[in-house]
């Protein structure tokens, strides 16, 4: 009898515990159901949509290489630029549109003319005393699944190395000279005349002198770079080398002229002239291949494993496909200073601006011409980020470590 009562009591206790648990769960569910919905999270400020990147990252270096290659390709005059280091890098990832990179690049001028279209790896920077350095800002769009590589916009500012500092370090080094100086023109024409004499099958005329330096050897010596074009004249027409023609530049020459010394009789010698020329490859382009979507270096697209496929997006409007950009050349920093402050170290500034929008919320830019299909494609473009915050891994290591050729 006692065991029976014990069993009944235990069962009753279990039922009461289960009932209490059921009541508690019901009350909890009611409380949750009656709780007001949480307010939606506010959208992130546009500046927080940009992710700072490491300037040493292999992908960042690859994108920087693509951007600089396209900057060089867009130029019609001057010298190709090489990458010294990535100064700053940001990425804005935009769902199915891929990424828009905001890059600040420290660059060095090479000895290769932009019309040569040489590979960047074949164009090294100049020696220190002839260096031209600066910064470029660039916006570069990558959509890996759609194999799009596109330079959206860029702006570069360059200046020559301080000749005052170079002369204090190396008094005998060559220094730049005015391109319009009579001796510079003489060196160019004498060099070209020598080339035409040694290559009589075709004659060439002078287009323009692009760079000139001078130094004292056994007399005044001049070194000149100049562009040439085909001349309609024959070898027998001595004055033809300076005649103009409508043809485009076809080659790039480096000439030098050393005049004999009249001050030291033992060193008296005749004028010495030397010249070397290289000719550009055909600049003809395949229609629809002028800096359009993903046709540039598609085989080297980072992290792309599939076989490259050429994008054949329509290019009916060249104004849409051409990147928006310019390269600005500043004078030697010492030239910008007043004479009475030459001994002080100037504060160097590189006024490189790149703003497709001033709207802090950003603006959309139609890039449908980069993509196949009728659907409209738009990128969100934000104001170019400043230096308020930056990755701790920026700037990256420099190609040239001399402080004379590194922007601040």
Query: How distant, in Å, are the alpha carbons of 154, 232, 334, 385 from that of 328?
Result: 11, 35, 18, 21
- Does residue 89 contact residue 396 with C-beta atoms inside 8 Å? no
User: What pLDDT is attached to residue 317?
Assistant: 34
Distance, in Å, from the CA atom of 193 to the CA atom of 246, rounded to the nearest integer, reads 20
Instruction: Between 306 and 331, name the one with better pLDDT.
Output: 331
Classify each residue of 187-208 as buried b or exposed e, where b means 16 or more C-beta atoms within 10 Å of its C-beta: bbbbbbbebbeeeeeebbbbbe
User: What pLDDT is attached to residue 113?
Assistant: 96
Distance, in Å, from the CA atom of 95 to the CA atom of 317, rounded to the nearest integer, reads 27
Strands 363-366 and 378-381, by their bridges, are antiparallel
User: What are the tens digits of pLDDT across the range 112-160?
Assistant: 999 998 888 899 889 999 999 999 999 999 999 889 999 999 999 999 9
Q: CA angle, corner 250, sides to 246 and 256, nearest 5?
A: 110
Q: For 297, left (φ over 0), alpha (ψ -120 to 50), or beta?
A: left
| Band (404; pLDDT cuts 50, 70, 90) | confident
User: What pLDDT is attached to residue 407?
Assistant: 83
User: What are the tens digits of pLDDT across the range 251-269?
Assistant: 999 999 998 765 555 555 6
The mean pLDDT of 312-327, rounded to a whole number, is 56
- Does residue 223 contact residue 214 with C-beta atoms inside 8 Å? yes
User: What pLDDT is attached to residue 346?
Assistant: 56
CA dihedral (366, 372, 376, 379) positive or negative? negative
Among 42-56, 183-197, 360-374, name the most confident range.
183-197
The mean pLDDT of 346-372, rounded to a whole number, is 85
- Name the token pair of 362: 């950003």
Distance, in Å, from the CA atom of 296 to the CA atom of 145, rounded to the nearest integer, reads 15
Distance, in Å, from the CA atom of 5 to the CA atom of 16, rounded to the nearest integer, reads 17
pLDDT, averaged across the chain: 78
User: What pLDDT is attached to residue 192?
Assistant: 96
The mean pLDDT of 23-33, rounded to a whole number, is 52
User: What are the tens digits of pLDDT across the range 57-70?
Assistant: 999 999 999 999 99
Distance, in Å, from the CA atom of 174 to the CA atom of 186, rounded to the nearest integer, reads 18
Distance, in Å, from the CA atom of 254 to the CA atom of 235, rounded to the nearest integer, reads 21
Query: How distant, in Å, are the alpha carbons of 156, 172, 230, 336, 338 from that of 176?
Result: 22, 13, 28, 16, 20
Laid out side by side, the sheet with 132-143 consists of: 51-52, 79-93, 99-113, 132-143, 148-160, 324-329
Annotate 38-82 with DSSP letters as a single string: PPPPPPPPGGGGSEE--TT-HHHHHHHHHHHHHHHHH-SSSEEEE
Q: Which residues contact 206 (CB under 8 A, 6 or more apart)?
A: 188, 189, 192, 226, 227, 228, 241, 242
Instruction: Between 15 and 335, name the one with better pLDDT.
Output: 335
Distance, in Å, from the CA atom of 254 to the CA atom of 170, rounded to the nearest integer, reads 23
- Overall pTM > 0.85: no
Residue 292 reports pLDDT greater than 50? no
User: What pLDDT is attached to residue 47?
Assistant: 53
Laid out side by side, the sheet with 272-279 consists of: 175-176, 204-216, 220-230, 251-258, 272-279
User: What pLDDT is attached to residue 314?
Assistant: 34
**Residue 266: strand, helix, or coil:** helix
């Amino acid at each position: 009898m006692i065991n029976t009562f014990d069993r009944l009591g235990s069962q009753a206790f279990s039922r009461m515990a289960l009932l209490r648990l059921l009541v508690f769960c019901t009350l909890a569910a009611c409380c949750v159901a009656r709780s007001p919905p949480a307010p939606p999270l506010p959208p992130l400020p546009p500046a927080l949509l940009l992710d700072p990147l490491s300037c040493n990252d292999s992908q960042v270096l690859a994108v920087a290489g693509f951007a600089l290659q396209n900057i060089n390709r867009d130029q019609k005059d001057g010298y190709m630029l090489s990458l010294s280091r990535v100064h700053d890098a940001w990425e804005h990832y935009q769902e199915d549109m891929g990424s828009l990179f905001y890059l600040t690049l420290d660059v060095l001028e090479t000895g290769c003319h932009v019309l040569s279209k040489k590979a960047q790896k074949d164009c090294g920077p100049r020696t220190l005393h002839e260096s031209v350095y600066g910064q470029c800002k660039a916006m570069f769009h990558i959509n890996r699944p759609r194999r799009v590589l596109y330079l959206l916009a860029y702006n570069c500012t360059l200046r020559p190395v301080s000749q005052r500092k170079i002369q204090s370090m190396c008094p005998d080094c060559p220094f730049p000279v005015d391109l319009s100086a009579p001796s510079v023109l003489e060196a160019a024409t004498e060099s070209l005349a020598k080339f035409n004499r040694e290559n009589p099958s075709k004659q060439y005329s002078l287009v323009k002198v692009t760079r000139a330096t001078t130094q004292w050897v056994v007399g005044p010596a001049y070194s000149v770079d100049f562009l040439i074009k085909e001349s309609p004249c024959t070898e027998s027409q001595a004055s033809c080398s300076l005649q103009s023609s409508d043809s485009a530049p076809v080659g790039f020459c480096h000439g030098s002229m050393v005049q004999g010394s009249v001050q030291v009789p033992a060193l008296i010698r005749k004028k010495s002239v030397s010249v070397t020329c290289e000719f550009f490859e055909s600049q003809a382009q395949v229609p629809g291949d002028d800096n359009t979507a993903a046709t540039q270096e598609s085989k080297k697209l980072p992290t792309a494993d599939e076989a490259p496929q050429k994008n054949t997006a329509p290019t009916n409007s060249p104004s849409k496909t051409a990147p928006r950009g310019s390269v600005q050349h500043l004078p030697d920093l010492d030239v910008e200073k007043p004479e009475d402050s030459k001994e002080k170290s100037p504060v160097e500034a590189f006024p490189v601006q790149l703003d497709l929008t001033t709207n802090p919320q950003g603006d959309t830019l139609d890039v449908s011409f980069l993509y196949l299909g009728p659907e409209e494609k738009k990128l969100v473009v934000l104001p170019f980020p400043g230096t308020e915050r930056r990755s701790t891994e920026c700037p990256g290591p420099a190609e040239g470590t001399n402080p004379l050729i590194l922007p601040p």
